[in-house]
Structure 1
Amino acid sequence: MSDKKKILVAEDSSVIINLTKNILQFENFDIIPVRNGNDVLKTLEKNEVVLVLMDINLPGMDGMECSKLIRANSNATISKLPIIAITGNYKNYTLDEFHKAGINEYLQKPLDYDLLVTTIKKYV
């Protein structure tokens, strides 16, 4: 059994998922990739994760709505998970809007993987 901490990566781009997986495995994390907001919620109910990387532009339910639903979850372990948004459209939102959605921080695409690792380690 792996003692690596698990990070849920909500992202619809296979390229970003693969790059993120490679970087985070090197840092001794496992990732659980999901491609839409509904799968995020289902996956959180079945897996113990320490952090959520949330793309804002997901198919179906977007990352903002999904983050709000995570915060509203009746399970305190899930509702208090750190959420880091990853988005190419950060200018469409204010920092206050991210915080109101329950997002702790956001990172711009294209991702700076050194900053990603530093930000994750700040919360985990």
Structure 2
Amino acid sequence: MTSSKKILVAEDSSVIINLTKNVLLFEKYHITAVKNGKQVLDKLAQEDFDLILMDINMPLMDGIECTKAVRSLENQNKATIPIVAITGNYKNYTLDDFKKAGMNDYVQKPLDYDLLLATVKKHLS
């Protein structure tokens, strides 16, 4: 059922990428991981995804800036993709700040993987 769902994980921590991949692969999601917001935009130009898990604090282009760039894409399917922030509350952002940037939801670090999975499923159903 979920085998065709493609998730783009934008996260600069290899540890978090690997843990997230393991949790999501167990549910048969197809996972692609990138390390910064610029790579998110590059991947989106090449492929379609069903969801983006977006770290807020990344090099080159942070998650807020990247989300705004995704929301301004001409391709409406890509511009409206669900984006879930992953944050250690970097710079004390609030849920309202994430919503204003165009994010659909957020999951706090340290990650609760049951909550992460439930959040992913909510936005992919």
Give the corresponding residue for 2:9.
9
Aligned with 2:66: secondary structure?
Answer: helix
Aligned with 2:38: secondary structure?
Answer: helix
**1:110 and 1:15 mapped to 2: Cα distance?**
12
TM-score, normalised on structure 2?
A: 0.93
Is residue 111 of structure 1 aligned with residue 108 of structure 2? no
**1:107 and 1:119 mapped to 2: Cα distance?**
8
Note the alpha carbon deviations across 1:61-100, whole angstroms, 9 max, x for none. 1100000111111000111100000011256112221111
CA contact (8 A) 2:50 2:81 kept: yes
- Structure 1 runs (4+) deviating above 6 angstroms are none
CA contact (8 A) 1:90 1:108 kept: no
Unpaired runs of 5+ in structure 2? none
**2:4 and 2:77 mapped to 1: Cα distance?**
18
Note the alpha carbon deviations across 1:93-118, whole angstroms, 9 max, x for none. 12221111001111110100000110
TM-score, normalised on structure 1?
A: 0.94
Aligned with 1:9: secondary structure?
Answer: strand
